[in-house]
Structure 1
Amino acid sequence: MRAVQCKDYTPTNSYESVLTVQDSVPTPNVHTDTPPAGFRNPMLVRVLSVALAPGDVRAMSGATRELQGPPSFPYTPGGDVCGVVVTMPGEMKNKKGETWKFDVGDRIAARFVNKPMGMLGEYALVSPDVCDKVPEGVSNDGAAALVSSGTVAVIISDYIRQGDRVLIFGAGGGVGSHLCQAVRLNGASYVVGVGKDPERLTSKPLSCDKALNYMHDDAYSVEEWQNKPFDVVIDLVGGVWPTLLKQRGQQQSIVKPSNQGGRYLTTTPDKAIFEGRSMWALLKVFLFPALWRATYTRIGLFSRSSLPKYSYVIGLPGSSEIVTRTLSLAAEGKIVPCIDDSGPFPLTTEGVRDAFRLQASRHPKGKVVVKVSEK
């Protein structure tokens, strides 16, 4: 089959030296291939579209090679996919003992499990436990974007309450573009996006009430928000919490403290680009800081009166529930898939390299999508 091949790690994003599209890559086989890590019972799909994510770039960089690296080189990158079922799993029931609700010929969207790899080819093995049928009216590219970032946005939006004033840092990216829409569904009354393109953030479908260009404006110093602070600050880029700590006591905060219902939600450590070469290293990046911050913003008297309640929103459920919810919202027109205007990129060597360059820049406007096949 035709597929992307990565022949080595590329910590400097030099995709010219490692990333190519080859025409003679072995087609995956449900019956004879060893299932990918974490797959209980894989099925084969003919790939239509693949959405890239930060994890794809991180895995290729080698920053998390001991935990998310490929078993060998070359390997096929890409983790979130829309495709057509070719071969059903060997077992006819899922882990709950239920018969699969899809069949050969169905168009499905699936997110990756454990390692973001294996999808950027004409065929791929996916986990049936974390996928669902794509409703009519949702495009192939849109379905890939939704299963990749829309699902994360829907999970974060569950933390929003009726009437909340919400500030989103990184509002123009893959998760952010869908989150601007999703927070409205749970009743956000006022939504502000911080990104590189304020005009896009205030236009449909993102429809923020106001937007700031982080390259020119300082969201922390806006007098309007100091006088009427936000209920929720969402950090999708990293670095917002250290700034709130630094400014505590120096100026009026733009977010309510914990004892007034203020919340801080994030999906990323303070530095979005990090290395995790062991489980202990990842615990120091993700778990320990989050546990400490969550604790002292909930029980510390001074912290509760000066900082919002800290929550690290991480991890997707090992089931299809969130995929089903997200695709249903798109079918109902409540969330519109957002794809960067540069794409979708073709399944060519230059097309895939361009897609990874855009993803690695951390400045895509929506999702970066590679189109593998029209239908």
Structure 2
Amino acid sequence: MSGKTRLVQGPPSLPYIPGGDLCGTVVEVSEGETQFKVGDVVAAMFDTAGPRGALAEYKVVKAENAALKPKSLSFEDAAALPSSALTAMLLCERYVRKGDRVLVLGGGGGVGCHVLQLLKAHGASYVAATCTDKDLLRSLGVDRAVDRTEENWWEIAEFKEAPFDLVVDLYGTHEPWKHASSSGTVKSGRLGGRYVTTVGDTPYMVFRHWWHIFKLMYDMTARGIWTRLSRGNPRWIYHLGL
């Protein structure tokens, strides 16, 4: 809504209705639709170029982008699931290997809370995470909770003695990668170390001109190629989300 990413997510015209993921009651289905019926309560994710339209009174969604709301969840909780939970699931399916020691940076956010609950089901043997709310992290099953305002994860002796196989960076900026590649807390690419980020160096992106997109993609593509060829550092991977 700030307009900072209007080049790729801007509405075709103004005024427009914002909102991405949603939860609501089905009032009409297309002919031949067998997955859902009128009266079903579903959660669905946006299928437009940008997240818009979900806050309307009525919204057309594709059946393939929807799922029945579990009865145990409120409408509000279910509406928060589609994009963040799917992103978390894809991260775990694509990058977690059996026996991995995993560090999640920014584990208290929407994606992070889902990732932490899925990691061990996908084979992780040890999970550490950073967040200012350590009680939240512990409730999600982590083995080691780190408050980044109290200690630096890259200086923790335990992590240096047993380096991580995988870092999932949901926090962003260049600082975490710099420490991951130089502190000895993450295995080198030669030993299978991976550093996966969903936010890159710029968590608050600005896409007002094509130059902004080019610069962002150039920097991240170059780093991805360099760490694939030079295996002394963890392999850096930019996960584009869904």
TM-score in terms of structure 1 length:
0.60
- Cα-to-partner distance string for 1:48-104 (whole Å, 9 max, x where unaligned): xxxxxxxxxxxx010011321223333221100111111224xx46xxxxx542122
* 1:248-327 aligned within 5 A: 248=181, 252-285=183-216, 287-300=217-230, 304-305=231-232, 307-316=233-242
Match of 2:25 in 1: 84
Residue of 166, 172, 178 corresponding to 1:232: 166
Q: Which residue of 2 aligns with 1:103?
A: 37
Q: 1:149 to 1:315 in 2, by over 3 A?
A: closer
Q: State the AA in 2 paired with 1:186.
A: H
> Of 170, 174, 183, which aligns to 2:106?
170
Higher-RCO chain (CA-CA 8 Å, sequence separation at least 6): 1
Paired positions, count: 240
Partner in structure 2 of residue 61 of structure 1: 2
Confirm or deny: 8 A CA contact 2:89 2:118 kept in the other structure.
yes
**RMSD across aligned C-alpha pairs, in angstroms?**
2.0
Shift of the alpha carbon at 1:275? 0.6
Cross-structure match for 1:117: 52
Deviation at 1:207, TM superposition (A): 1.4
Shift of 1:161: 1.1
SS in 2 for 1:265: strand
Determine the structure 2 residue equivalent to 1:156.
91
2:138 corresponding residue in structure 1: 202
Distance 1:64 1:248, change over 3 A: closer
Answer whether contact 2:180 2:186 (CA < 8 A) is retained.
Answer: no
Whichever residue aligns with residue 103 of structure 2, its letter is L
Is the CA contact (8 Å cut-off) linking 2:163 and 2:185 kept in structure 1? yes
Residue 110 of structure 1: CA displacement?
0.9
Could you tell me which residue of structure 1 aligns to residue 14 of structure 2?
73
- Alignment deviations for residues 161-194 of structure 1 (CA, whole Å, 9 cap, x no partner): 1111111111001111111101111011111110
Could you tell me the TM-score, scaled by structure 2's length? 0.91
Q: Which residue of 2 aligns with 1:217?
A: 151
SS in 2 for 1:202: helix
Counterpart amino acid of residue 152 in structure 2: D
* SS of residue matched to 1:76: coil
CA distance in 1, matches of 2:176, 2:236: 14
Q: CA–CA distance in 2 between the matches of 1:162 and 1:133?
A: 31
Aligned mates of 1:298, 1:279 — CA distance in 2: 27
Amino acid across the alignment from 1:289: D
SS in 1 for 2:129: strand
Larger-Rg structure: 1
Measure the CA separation in 1 of the matches of 2:132 and 2:63.
37
Secondary structure in structure 1 of the residue aligned to 2:59: strand
Change (3 A) 1:191 1:248: closer
Tell me if the contact between 2:21 and 2:54 (Cα under 8 Å) persists in the aligned partners.
yes
**CA deviations over 1:280-310 (Å, ceiling 9, x no partner):** 422422x32232222111222xxx12x1111
Distance 1:185 1:279, change over 3 A: farther
The answer for the alignment partner of 1:144 in structure 2 is 79
Shift of 1:253: 1.6
TM-superposed deviation, 1:125: 2.6
8 Å CA contact retained: 2:154, 2:179: no
Equivalents in 1 of 2:202, 2:8: separation in Å? Answer: 19
Aligned partner of 1:128 among 63, 67, 79? 63
Q: Percent identity over the alignment?
A: 40
CA contact (8 A) 2:106 2:131 kept: yes
Question: Could you say what secondary structure the match of 1:150 adopts?
Answer: helix
Distance in 1 between residues matched to 2:134 and 2:112, nearest whole Å? 13
Amino acid at match of 1:108: V
State the secondary structure of the residue aligned to 1:124.
coil
Displacement of 1:123 after TM fit?
2.2
Distance of aligned partners of 1:73 and 1:244 in 2 relative to their CA distance in 1, 3 Å threshold: closer
